[in-house]
Amino acid sequence: MSEPSCDNCEATLGAKLRHARRTIGWTLRQAAASSGIAISSICDFEHGKREPRFAQLARLAEAYHRSIYYFLDDAVPVSASFPVLWCPVTEGGLR
């Protein structure tokens, strides 16, 4: 399912987190399962009730296949798309 255009949406961290999750068609439950972060925490992040720690934001960025800069730069609009610029590292090296 495609996300409606959000060019005029406020580029808050919560709005970007929600947009990224919905763009890949995930529910809060799927995002929690993939990131290892509680549903209630993700919901709080998306609604601006709490801000994620950097490690949590990094896990969400990886789960959503977004650059962490998409979430950190206030000048980047919600609908912006960044290429994946990193590759997760496993115990045996790069995947």
CA gap 61, 74 in Å, rounded? 16
Q: Are 45 and 18 in contact (CB under 8 A)?
A: no
- Tens of pLDDT, residue by residue over 21-53, are 999 999 999 999 999 999 999 999 999 999 999
- Tens of pLDDT, residue by residue over 54-74, are 999 999 999 999 989 889 887
pLDDT above 70: residue 86: no
Predicted confidence at residue 48, as pLDDT, reads 93
Distance of CA 24 to the CA centre of its chain: 10
| Whole-prediction pTM | 0.72
- Highest mean predicted confidence (pLDDT) among 12-16, 41-45, 86-90: 41-45
